[in-house]
Amino acid sequence: MQWTVTALPFVGQFVEHCSFIKHEGQYIVHSQVFPGTQWSAAYTEGGAAGGRTGTAHASYDFDNWPDLWQWAFALPEPADPEQRDAHNAYDQVHLGVGAASFGNVCVGAYGIWHSQAFGENFGKISCDLGLLVSNDGVRFREPGATPGQVFIHHDDSPVTPTSGCAYNTVLCQGNGILNVGDETRI
């Protein structure tokens, strides 16, 4: 296999990608941004900084990618703008949506990042997985009415113990949905 660079998309943008899919004729890259930081030209409502948020870049021809992203999925931000930040202690979307296309619908997993103030509390951060669905492959929603509903809890897949350390588990989704025979594996 030989790759040829045809364009350099996302120039000057922080793109921590999570998944790459093709759905209904679009190539879609899912990633996360940190609104209100030097890595992102976006802000949350009211012009405030915000926590980790899922975004998507889409192209119909794979060669031309717009230098802008769309909101894919976000958890509710704190009502007080002063409490919004990637380093504050509230649930945020980690890495964006790890999606797979199933014809007329996409199913995705996202990280529910249980953020803590960085510094001495950094080791207390954990991440569960939530479940999402989408009809267009770009904008996702949770199938239930409760925001941040846990689909796979981090305690169900614990980190390998290290002598003398107590690490939390941070589950990461990526392109982690696969059809094998008559099973869909996550």
- Identify whether 5 is part of a domain: no
- Identify whether 171 is part of a domain: yes
Domain tally, the chain: 1
Question: Can you tell me which residue has the tokens 């941004």?
Answer: 33
Between 8-12, 19-23, 47-51, the lowest mean confidence (pLDDT) is in 8-12
- Identify whether 93 is part of a domain: yes
- Identify whether 9 is part of a domain: no
- Identify whether 10 is part of a domain: no
In the predicted structure, residue 45 carries a pLDDT above the cut 90: no
- Identify whether 85 is part of a domain: yes
- Identify whether 7 is part of a domain: no
Each residue of 73-88: pLDDT tens digit? Answer: 999 988 898 888 888 8
- Residue 117: per-residue pLDDT: 81
Instruction: Show the domain range for 148.
Output: 16-185
Specify the pTM.
Answer: 0.87
Each residue of 111-163: pLDDT tens digit? Answer: 999 998 877 888 889 999 999 999 999 999 999 989 899 999 999 988 877 78
- Identify whether 120 is part of a domain: yes
